[in-house]
Amino acid sequence: MLKRLALLLTLTCALPPLAIAAPPVAEPAIRYVSQLPDNVHLDTAILHFKRGNVQVDLIAAIHIADASYYHKLQRRLDAYPKLLFELVAADGQQFTRTGVRSESGLSSVQIWLRDKLHLTFQLDEIDYRRKNFVHADLSPDVLLSHLKSHWTDTLGMVLRFALLDAARSTNADGSMRFFGSDLRAALGPGGDRQLALKRMLARELAEMGDVASAKSGSDALIARRNEAAIAALQAELQKGCKRAGIFYGGAHMPDMARRLQALGFGLTGTEWLVAWDLRH
């Protein structure tokens, strides 16, 4: 059950918030920090790239997180002259305060995770009506057409990911994965079971994302959506923009970074934002 939840949560970072439904960069886009007892958190990265006097930041998105994380992130996003974002929506669509989704558009797993872990959903917290926000993703029709024509690639990505995950017996720190004491803490009686479950899922989210990025390469769906983002970026750069952000799911970042590097951008630094505070 836990492995299924962790897999679905990880795939949430690869799929668009409105789910119709390559070599890694020097730094991962999501990390789990565990320095017990007072320093435990799940972080997302902002990767800084420069080419001459032009700066482009890759801002890794995680679609379920603490409300305080999204509040801080909103201020960061508002500071970019142009902020290119992922959201499967029709060209020219008018965005509401909470994007273009309804409660029924969320999967039952996402709703369960949000409520069980006391987290919030990205589209409930980020305001997509900001004037600097630029839609840089596929329309539902284009996405559906792509999925139909590349269904074997998408299925292959999911199966490849599942096999890679099944082969993992240890965590990145060398500890046994899903060790008995961890499971007892998360599912057994007594103690803070919610916190134990939240920490376990956070570790899985970060480490399974690393496995997928490092070993499976870029799948067709990620590549196609990243092409749309980079095309939107180049259009803004041609208009004279000197600083832009690309706000996309963490699973997109290895391929997105490679595309920036192919355009002559170099990675200059990484910042980390705490998405899940796991101290208590």
pLDDT in tens, 81-136: 999 999 877 666 666 555 455 454 556 677 777 888 889 988 889 999 899 999 99
Highest mean pLDDT among 106-110, 151-155, 200-204, 210-214: 200-204
Cα separation, 132 vs 244, in Å, equals: 10
Answer whether 0.95 is exceeded by the pTM.
Answer: no
Range of the domain at 151: 2-277
Instruction: Dig out the tokens for 86 from the structure.
Output: 């992922």
- Decide if 63 contacts 17 (C-beta within 8 A): yes
pLDDT at residue 88, as a whole number = 74
Residue 22 pLDDT class (50, 70, 90 cuts): very low
CA nearest to 272, candidates 26, 24, 62, 29 = 29
- Decide if 203 contacts 7 (C-beta within 8 A): no
- Under DSSP, is residue 159 helix (H, G, I), strand (E, B) or coil? helix
**What's the mean per-residue pLDDT of the chain?**
76
Whether residue 18 is predicted with pLDDT greater than 70 in this model: the reply is no
- Decide if 77 contacts 130 (C-beta within 8 A): yes
HSE (side-chain half, CA atoms, 13 Å) at 67: 5
Instruction: Dig out the tokens for 68 from the structure.
Output: 């305080």
pLDDT at residue 229, as a whole number = 96
- Decide if 244 contacts 83 (C-beta within 8 A): yes
Residue 26 pLDDT class (50, 70, 90 cuts): very low
The residue with greater pLDDT, 214 or 247, is: 247
The Cβ of residue 135 has, within 10 Å, a number of other Cβ atoms equal to 21
Q: Which of 10-24, 169-183, 190-204 has the lowest mean pLDDT?
A: 10-24
- Decide if 253 contacts 60 (C-beta within 8 A): yes
Number of structural domains (the chain) is 1
Locate all alpha helices (DSSP H) within 61-192, ordered by sequence: 67-78, 108-116, 122-125, 140-149, 151-166, 180-187
Strands 120-121 and 64-65: antiparallel
* pLDDT (tens digit per residue) in 133-181: 999 988 777 666 756 665 455 555 555 555 445 555 555 555 544 544 4
DSSP-assigned letters across all residues of 169-200 = -B-TTSPBTT-HHHHHHHHSSSS-HHHHHHHH
